[in-house]
Structure 1
Amino acid sequence: MTITQLRYVLAVAEHQNFTKAAEKTFVTQPTLSMQIQKLEEELAILIFDRSKKPIELTEVGKKLVQQARNIVNESERIQDIVDQQKGFIGGEFKLGVIPTVMPTLLPMFLHNFIKKYPKVKLKIEELTTEAIMERLQDGHLDAAIAATPLQNENIKERVLYYEPFVGYIPPSHRLNKKNKIDISDLDIDDMLLLEDGHCFRDGIVNLCKTQKSYDEDHFQLESGSFETLVKLSNEGLGMTLLPYLHTLDINDKEKGNLHFFNEPSPAREVSLIFHKSELKMQIIEALHSTIAGVVKGAITFQNVQIISPISKIKSD
């Protein structure tokens, strides 16, 4: 049994196709198939049910894949140990970022990070929290930036910053005359929200759940971007909540529609998250220190109330 054979098994399990798996692992399809067959013969089992289209794992194959992933991860730790001993910070690093963080945070730290760590080849992908969690556990991401806490025993979280929610309230709205707003002022029925699947939307729903019962059918309008929500709000269609960093790019005229919360301000916790196996920790540490250092100057709020991004919370 070899690490290479286990890598091939993981590739076929992911792509459910021997040809695609061979392409992804940069070998010929006959070579990949032969190595997997050798492993099956050595173990006297069938890992894959080849009669199914697409190919499926057998029951014992599912258990084997879980263990194979652990073994491959641990084998990669050897290179990590060597890199850390040499003080080397470089190589490919796959980073996932949630959509409501990507446009504001990336421009703040990316240039600094690339300049300071030129040997790191960052591959950044915008993904939902659900997709990030799957890819972290499958080993297809090295780390991610997401709203936390996520309460997953396989995922470790290192807080980067706390970002307050800010009300965007047009002149025609009932709350516009208030200098600062309270959580109790919010009514889910006159709020514009991001589309389902965004954890920031889930945070707002959780925030409003604490005030009164709600009916999801009453949501008026939903959009995929904060920019569209602001435009809809300007048309008098309701208020919305924005993450603080998004408010920094709003034009001077629209800044007059921003209303901060009385303290403690509701806020989201944004963290660098990674698998508990802690691979490539030297790059994770470098990312954390770079981002935290940059954001510290932009967000100075201290007295905040963290709102969970988890969409389904048991009510009391």
Structure 2
Amino acid sequence: MTITQLIYVLAVAEHKNFTLAAEKCFVTQPTLSMQIQKLEEQLEIQIFDRSKKPIGLTDVGEKIVVQAKNIVNEANRIKDIVDQQKGFIGGDFKIGIIPTIMPTLLPMFLNNFIKKYPKVNVIIEELTTNEIINKLKNGHLDCAIAATPLDEEKLKEIVLYYEPFVAYVPESSQNIGKKEIEVSDLDVEKILLLQDGHCFRNSILNLCKASQLNKDHHFHLESGSFETLIKLSDEGLGTTLLPYLHTMDLNEKSKSKLKPFVDPKPAREVSLIFPKNELKIHIIEALRTTIQGVVRGAIAFSNVEIISPK
């Protein structure tokens, strides 16, 4: 039995197709099939039920896949131990970031990080929270940055910062003259939201439910970006809520329409998320230090109320 054979087994288990699994492992399909067949012969069992379409796992195959993941992870940990002992911070490092964090946070830390750790090959994907969870569990990401808490049993979370929500109100709004607003000031019939699938949308929905306003409210306008929501608000179509970092680059006219909430300010918790096996933990720690170093000066809020993204 070899680590390579187990990697092939995991690939087929994930993709349910020998040809696709071979492509993902950068080997030919006959090579991958032969190695899996050798393993099955050695163990005198069938890992895969090839009569099913797509290919499925046998009962014993499901148990083998669970153990194979543990073995492959522990094998990868050996290289991590050596790298940490040598003080080496380098190699491929895959990060997933949700869309409502990516445009504001990434420019703040990426240049600093790659200059400080030039041997790390950073590979970044913009992904939804659900995609991030799946990819972390399947070993396709080393870590991610998303709104938390997620309460996923196999994942760890390290809080990076707390980011308050800020209301962006049209000039026609009754709130335009206020310095600060309360959640109860929001007209839930005129809230502009991101499209379904964004965890920031879920947080806003949870915030409005928490205000004990009319539970039969109707959100009539949705968009895929904060920029569009701001333009819709400028046209007098409603109020939208923005993450604090997204407000920093607005022009002065737009900033005059921003209304912070009274304390405790509703906020989202932004964290580094990674598998509990803590592979590449030395790079994850380097990333945490870099991000907190640059964000600390931009966000200094402590009296906040965390709104769940789920």
User: What TM-score range do you get, normalising by the shorter chain?
Assistant: over 0.9
1:31 aligns to what?
Answer: 31
Q: Would you identify which runs of 4 or more consecutive aligned residues in structure 1 move more than 6 Å?
A: none
1:313 aligns to what?
Answer: none
Give the CA RMSD over aligned residues. Answer: 1.3
2:271 aligns to what?
Answer: 271
Is 1:106 equivalent to 2:106 in the alignment?
A: yes
Is 1:2 equivalent to 2:2 in the alignment?
A: yes
Report the alpha carbon displacement of residue 71 of structure 1 after superposing the two structures with TM.
Answer: 1.1
Partner amino acid, structure 1, of 2:295: V
SS of residue matched to 1:259:
strand
Counterpart CA distance in 2 for 1:216 and 1:146 is 29
Contact 2:189 2:217 in 1 (8 A): no
SS of residue matched to 1:237:
coil
Report the alpha carbon displacement of residue 41 of structure 1 after superposing the two structures with TM.
Answer: 1.6
Is 1:88 equivalent to 2:102 in the alignment?
A: no
2:229 aligns to what?
Answer: 229
Is 1:48 equivalent to 2:60 in the alignment?
A: no
TM (normalized to structure 2)? 0.97
SS of residue matched to 2:176:
coil
Q: Matches of residues 1-316 of structure 1 in structure 2 within 5 Å?
A: 1-212=1-212, 214=214, 218-310=218-310
Contact 1:136 1:275 in 2 (8 A): yes
Contact 1:187 1:208 in 2 (8 A): no
Counterpart CA distance in 2 for 1:127 and 1:305 is 26
Report the alpha carbon displacement of residue 216 of structure 1 after superposing the two structures with TM.
Answer: 6.8
Range moving further from structure 2, 62-71 or 139-148 = 62-71
The superposition leaves residues 166-189 of structure 1 with CA deviations (integer Å, 9 ceiling, x where unpaired) of 000011123222221012222432
Report the alpha carbon displacement of residue 242 of structure 1 after superposing the two structures with TM.
Answer: 0.1
In percent, how many aligned pairs have the same letter? 70
Please list every run of 5 or more consecutive structure 1 residues that lacks an aligned counterpart in the other structure. 311-316
Contact 2:209 2:215 in 1 (8 A): no
Counterpart CA distance in 2 for 1:275 and 1:282 is 14
Range moving further from structure 2, 53-62 or 144-153 = 53-62
Compared CA separation, residues 214 and 142, structure 1 to 2 (3 A): farther
Counterpart CA distance in 2 for 1:213 and 1:38 is 63
Range moving further from structure 2, 49-58 or 253-262 = 49-58
Contact 1:89 1:119 in 2 (8 A): yes
TM (normalized to structure 1)? 0.95
Please list every run of 5 or more consecutive structure 2 residues that lacks an aligned counterpart in the other structure. none
Range moving further from structure 2, 279-288 or 185-194 = 185-194
Counterpart CA distance in 2 for 1:278 and 1:212 is 41
SS of residue matched to 1:219:
coil
SS of residue matched to 1:218:
coil
The superposition leaves residues 87-109 of structure 1 with CA deviations (integer Å, 9 ceiling, x where unpaired) of 00000011000000000000000
Range moving further from structure 2, 258-267 or 211-220 = 211-220
Report the alpha carbon displacement of residue 257 of structure 1 after superposing the two structures with TM.
Answer: 0.5
Contact 2:137 2:154 in 1 (8 A): yes
Counterpart CA distance in 2 for 1:32 and 1:217 is 55
1:314 aligns to what?
Answer: none
The superposition leaves residues 135-174 of structure 1 with CA deviations (integer Å, 9 ceiling, x where unpaired) of 1111111000000111112111111111010000011123
Counterpart CA distance in 2 for 1:191 and 1:23 is 46
Counterpart CA distance in 2 for 1:210 and 1:262 is 15
